[in-house]
Chain A
Amino acid sequence: MTDIAAAAAVPQISPAADARLMLAAAARWRWWEFAVWIAALAAIVVFPRNLLLLNEIAILALFALSLDLILGFAGIVSLGHAAFFGVGAYAAGLLGKFGYGDPFLGLAAAAAVAAVLGFATSFLLLRGSDLTRLMVTLGIALMLLELANREAWLTGGADGLQGVTIGPVLGLFDFDLSGRTAYLYSLGVLFVLFLLARRIIHSPFGLSLRAVKQNPLRARAIGISVAVRLVAIYTLSAAFAGVAGALSAQTTQYVSLEVFDFIRSADVMLVLVLGGVGYLYGGIFGALIFKLMQDYLSAITPQYWQFWIGLVLVILVLAGRERIGAQLTRLFAPLLRWRRA
């Protein structure tokens, strides 16, 4: 931030140099980003009893991040993102069941299978309105759910996939009951994929996605192939979701039909909207809020906790995040001034 201020203070700087600084500044790490990741790591020490919950949060965050890639950065709505989570989970689970329990092998396989499914189905989403896309994605997830249900010889059907054995991470760290390895593993994978996503959205390709989202007519008129870009990001998003599914299968050593459930697709959308769409951290904050609320509320009102999540969602969407954000900023402004002074 100080660099931008310094650049602005030198008026004689050439426009090109100025432009370079401006673009570089957009991709620079902010202080709070470091804080997020340090806090995520510190959580191991601070909340040693809640590592299983933290693991779930990390996985949900990755899943929501994958949705953010298409929804936040390319404007593709989906109500069937669980399709990719599910195939990723089954890919990793089946590998583990049939003796290929290396965690990273499972992740790679899950990413590949989900990417192939994403690539193949992306062509169904190129044309059509948001409503079409919602229905097509919903339909695909439903079909996969039925398929997994019917092919019980492979998936275990309604009983779930049992007997999944996952080897130690890097051949060293066994998955323990406390969830310590699981959380570190999931967090590490989340972090690496987050870095990749961050890199991509600040690349020329990422910029072109935003262009496609904001005005496809103009995007085409500067020579961008809208279809190719959408297929690419959808495939990548599917791979991310597949990895999230694989993490879930590996750390719980179990896969049930619920991985394809409509509720999962709807929840991840909810999580992303809770956390905010289109700035990469929405999935992480959303997953945190969602899981904590779920954990806390379901302890006091086991049946009705979703009511409160629903209420928060409605308020958030109707009142608008910006307005709430502005109110909060006003509330905390004296504090910020004090911090700067």
Chain B
Amino acid sequence: MTVALETRNLVKRFGGLVATDDVSIAFQKGVRYALIGPNGAGKTTLINLLTGVLRPTGGAVILEGADITGMAPHRRVQNGLARTFQINQLFPEMTPLQTVGLAVSERQGHGREWWRLAGGKREVIDEAAAILERFGLTDVMGAETKVLPYGKQRLLEIAVAIACRPRVLLLDEPAAGVPEEERHEILDIVGGLPDDVTILLIEHDMDLVFSFAQRIAVLVNGGLFMEGAAKDIAADPRVREVYLGEGGHG
């Protein structure tokens, strides 16, 4: 097994608060992970450290064997690491078509072309249209993102990340705020990504977690509490106590 993404003794302090506490974890290539933990455990902070949105106080991040601790966020994306945000981060006055098309065109390396009309490259449009169709966004692809219903925006948030064609995909509560019956649909699309894509899913809904993840990492108070096969985690009494035992999540 090869390691896709790894952290070594990662630490993030916000003043006196230790949001990430000496986390060392390796994510194997092609494995679907869930990252669970109570509110405020430091899950989002960990993703922000992995993607370069935050600089760590200490430790290292390694992507496919290369140290990327100091690498700019956009370079990490170009190196195959994409994410979604817990709170939608979209372009309010652009359409889903423009948004996904832009992500595809950037990935294909056309982003600096100023002499060509956007929409002129067939391979960009075809891929963008296919992604939009997979997410059921075709009928709204020409509407401004800000007028879309929340559920559609949430789908777009994931579609954009997938348009980056990542080898490692980090999903920060992608189903949050999505109606119960549509949640599985979202994760089915994500689960349908190629087998060699490594996925890390943050999710509070245990049904989703267990139906999606092969392995689970548990974060408590910023530290890695444990990491293991999904069924072992589910059976572990300590995990039940600190996390599952809380009786679901708010």
Q: In whole angstroms, how far apart are the Cα atoms of A278 and B211 in the complex?
A: 47
Q: In whole angstroms, how far apart are the Cα atoms of A220 and B113 in the complex?
A: 17
CB contact between A222 and one of B103, B113, B114 (< 8 Å): that residue: B103
Residue of A nearest to B83 (CB): A221
Decide if B118 touches A222 in the complex (CB within 8 Å).
no
**Known contacts A20-B119, A207-B118, A222 near B89 by CB under 8 Å:** no
Of listed A15, A204, A207, residue having the most chain B CB within 10 A: A204
Decide if B89 touches A214 in the complex (CB within 8 Å).
no
Q: Is A97 an interface residue (CB 8 A)?
A: no
Q: Is A215 an interface residue (CB 8 A)?
A: yes
CB contact between B119 and one of A24, A221, A224, A228 (< 8 Å): that residue: A24
Q: Is B36 an interface residue (CB 8 A)?
A: no
> Total interface residues on A, using CB and 8 Å?
36
Residue of B nearest to A217 (CB): B89
Q: Is B233 an interface residue (CB 8 A)?
A: no
Q: Is B188 an interface residue (CB 8 A)?
A: no
Interface stretch, picked from B4-12, B121-129, B177-185, B197-205, is B121-129
Q: In whole angstroms, how far apart are the Cα atoms of A146 and B130 in the complex?
A: 58
Q: Which residues does chain B contribute within 8 Å of A14, judged by CB atoms?
A: 129
> Total interface residues on B, using CB and 8 Å?
52
Q: In whole angstroms, how far apart are the Cα atoms of A77 and B92 in the complex?
A: 20
Minimum CB–CB distance from A227 to chain B (whole Å) comes to 8
Decide if A223 touches B78 in the complex (CB within 8 Å).
yes
Q: What is the number of contacts between chain A and chain B, taking CB atoms within 8 Å? A: 144
Q: Is B187 an interface residue (CB 8 A)?
A: no
Q: Which residues does chain B contribute within 8 Å of A321, judged by CB atoms?
A: none
Of listed A208, A211, A215, A221, residue having the most chain B CB within 10 A: A221
- B78-103: CB near A (< 8 Å → 1, else 0) gives 10001101000111111101110111
Decide if B106 touches A223 in the complex (CB within 8 Å).
yes
Decide if A20 touches B77 in the complex (CB within 8 Å).
no
Decide if B90 touches A222 in the complex (CB within 8 Å).
no
Interface stretch, picked from A118-126, A195-203, A262-270, is A195-203
Interface residues of B (CB under 8 A from A): 51, 53, 72-75, 77-78, 82-83, 85, 89-95, 97-99, 101-103, 105-107, 110-119, 122, 125-126, 128-130, 132-133, 138, 141-142, 160-161, 163-164
Interface residues of A (CB under 8 A from B): 14-16, 18-20, 22-24, 26-27, 199-200, 202-208, 210-211, 214-215, 217-226, 228, 232
Q: Which 4 A-B pairs have the closest CB atoms?
A: A23-B119, A223-B77, A16-B129, A205-B114
